[in-house]
Amino acid sequence: MAPKPARPLLTAFGILGFVLCGIYLALGRCQTAEREETAAGLVRELREREHGAPAAKVTAEPAPEGPSAAGQPGGRAVKPALRDGPFGLQGGMTLDELRALGKIERKPGEASWYEWFPLHPHPAFDEYLLMVGSTDGLCKIAAFGPSIPTSPSGKELKAAFDKVDRELQARYGPRDRRELGKPGRTWDASTQWMVGLLKKELQYASLWGGAAVPLRNKAGHLDWFALDAHAESRESGYLSLIFGFDNLKRCEDEDAKEVNESVK
């Protein structure tokens, strides 16, 4: 069975990118057997958008030894310790620290992207990708929820979104709320809401961070994050939640440098 279309990752690393482009992650979901291909496609799309060239086809493999908590390869084991950032993590965590909190698999041919299988996942999300720099550690999290059956009006998907949105507001404060539709649409928003989402003519999202919506709680070195709803069909959708830490720019620069060196 051919895998469903992979979901491209948010590549506008800041508030301006969100405002201009939104955080439309593409359509498509996968079942358990197809998740590796979904994650691989997501990373390929990220590489194409950031560096203008497609990445090599990738499959998951166990992570090689990376910097330990002491900064040395193959250091002593790290005791599991939840942090005060999202999903019990925080910016700057090393691979050893992340491994102590769940299985982690690197994407071969990628300098910084890993798939993470947390010991205690959030009930609203079942797929996690981490961007981990060799120098700055964890700098970005991308979480995806399971498929949510819904009516054409999107009632059930909206309800799932709004529940997570309220939880995030309670912890991090007010957000920039967006429900935008493109002018000239031909579908009825009251009965064909999912059609608009599927055609990417509608955005249903919330953003935290930046001058307009400063974070009340920057626990774990958090800088900004965005919650978004997506359609995979007229009767099914899912949620995504993207976190960027305050070391993200350094991570991006390091990742771009390593990618450029690898193609010389």
59-107 pLDDT tens trace: 333 333 343 333 333 334 444 556 678 999 999 999 999 999 999 998 7
Neighbouring CB atoms inside 10 A of 170's CB total 9
Question: Helices marked H in 3-57 — which ranges?
Answer: 15-21, 35-51
Closest CA to 129 of 146, 110, 149, 114: 114
Residue 51 has pLDDT above 50, yes or no: no
Is beta strand 113-118 parallel, antiparallel or unpaired with respect to 102-106?
A: antiparallel
- Percent of the chain topping pLDDT 90: 44
The answer to whether 130 and 113 have CB atoms below 8 angstroms apart is yes
Mean residue pLDDT across the chain: 73
**Domain presence at residue 143:** yes
**Domain presence at residue 236:** yes
> What domain range includes position 147?
73-264
Q: And the tokens for 228?
A: 């978004």
| Spatial separation of the C-alpha atoms in residues 3 and 186, rounded to whole Å | 30
Query: What angle, rounded to 10 degrees, do the helices at 35-51 and 248-262 form?
Result: 90
pLDDT digits (tens, 9 = 90+) for 199-228: 888 889 999 997 768 888 888 899 999 999
Provide the 8-state DSSP code for 27: S
Show contacts of 177-183: CB within 8 Å, 24+ apart. Answer: 177/206, 178/22, 178/203, 178/204, 178/205, 178/206, 178/207, 179/203, 179/204, 180/22
Buried b (16+ CB within 10 A) or exposed e, 109-133: bbbbbbbbebeeebebbbbbbbbbb
Residue 30 has pLDDT above 50, yes or no: no
Number of structural domains found in the chain: 1
**Domain presence at residue 238:** yes
The answer to whether 82 and 88 have CB atoms below 8 angstroms apart is yes
The answer to whether 68 and 75 have CB atoms below 8 angstroms apart is yes
Residue 118 has pLDDT above 60, yes or no: yes
**Domain presence at residue 105:** yes
**Domain presence at residue 7:** no
Provide the 8-state DSSP code for 80: -
**Domain presence at residue 258:** yes
**Domain presence at residue 144:** yes
**Domain presence at residue 44:** no
